[in-house]
């Protein structure tokens, strides 16, 4: 997630009405939770039913999310994606907003059927990716919104999200350590890598470098793209 000017996303969506099977919400802030629940529940049904998409959990979740997007009118076309991205990372292509809007937002698209990495180092499934974004909103007060899903070709999807554009510089190591310590986190080593753990809600954060944490012009710090997950049941803290 990066910072700059502003933009209004231009999109068109396919909508299908009368779908009592899908969990619905008119609140944009809850769309991540709705998509997450439908992906988990739908994947379980696909795995029980067998067939082409039941071969792996990843395939089942991709198909479940695709079906939910189709049912709920979340298949969208974004004009921004017709031009080259302004930036890219391991899991996203990024389009910066244009100058002039009162509410500038950054648009992000995952790569085809690729959803990044979880704090434990495992490849994220769609549900893991959506849950990570949900936790980022909850833990860090971010405002990531699920804008829609696109399907470049059969059985391939990309998740499209947006978040507020923030003006700032990459945080230094000392600033990052202070930021997490002040928020109740403790540094530890997990599977050979440094991460942060908070006992009160069992949240784990990783990949906490200056590219994912910014210091605004006013001196505030903002975590904009930090992988977050809840600690598994067998988790044991090993202090760094």
Please provide the average confidence, as pLDDT, over all residues in the chain: 86
pLDDT band for position 89 (cuts 50, 70, 90): confident
Nearest residue to 62 via CA among 127, 146, 145, 122:
127
Q: If 0-12 CB within 10 Å is exposed, 13-18 middle and 19+ buried, where does residue 125 land?
A: buried
**pLDDT for 1:** 40
Q: Is the pLDDT of residue 32 over 90?
A: yes
Q: In what order do the strands lie in the sheet with 203-205?
A: 186-190, 193-198, 203-205, 228-230
Calculate mean pLDDT across residues 143-171: 93
The DSSP element (H or E) to which 203 belongs, if any, is: strand 203-205
Q: Is the pLDDT of residue 215 over 60?
A: yes
3-state secondary structure of 6: strand
Q: Is the pLDDT of residue 3 over 70?
A: no
**pLDDT for 80:** 87
CA angle 220, 8, 16 (to 5 degrees): 115
Rounded to two decimals, the pTM is 0.85
What is the spatial distance between Cα 7 and Cα 45, in angstroms, rounded to a whole number? 39
> 19-48 in b/e burial notation, b at 16+ Cβ within 10 A?
eeebeeeeeeeebbbbbbbbbbbbbeebbe
What is the spatial distance between Cα 39 and Cα 44, in angstroms, rounded to a whole number? 9
**pLDDT for 46:** 97
């Amino acid at each position: 997630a990066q910072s700059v000017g502003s933009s209004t996303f231009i999109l068109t969506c396919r909508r299908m009405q009368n779908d009592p099977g899908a969990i619905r919400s008119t609140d944009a802030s809850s769309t991540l939770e709705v998509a997450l629940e439908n992906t988990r529940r739908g994947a379980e049904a696909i795995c029980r039913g067998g067939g082409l998409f039941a071969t792996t959990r990843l395939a089942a979740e991709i198909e479940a999310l695709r079906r939910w997007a189709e049912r709920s009118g979340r298949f969208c076309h974004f004009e921004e994606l017709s031009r080259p991205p302004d930036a890219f990372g391991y899991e996203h292509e990024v389009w910066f907003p244009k100058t002039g809007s009162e509410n500038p937002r950054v648009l992000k698209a995952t790569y085809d059927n690729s959803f990044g990495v979880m704090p434990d180092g495992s490849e994220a499934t769609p549900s893991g990716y959506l849950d990570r974004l949900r936790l980022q909103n909850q833990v860090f007060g971010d405002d990531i919104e699920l804008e829609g899903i696109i399907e470049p070709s059969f059985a391939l999807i990309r998740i499209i999200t947006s978040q507020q554009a923030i003006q700032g510089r990459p945080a230094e190591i000392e600033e990052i350590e202070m930021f997490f310590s002040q928020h109740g986190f403790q540094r530890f080593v997990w599977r050979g890598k440094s991460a942060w753990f908070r006992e009160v809600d069992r949240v784990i954060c990783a990949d906490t470098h200056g590219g994912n944490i910014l210091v605004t012009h006013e001196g505030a710090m903002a975590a904009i793209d930090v992988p977050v997950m809840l600690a598994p049941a067998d988790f044991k803290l090993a202090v760094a």
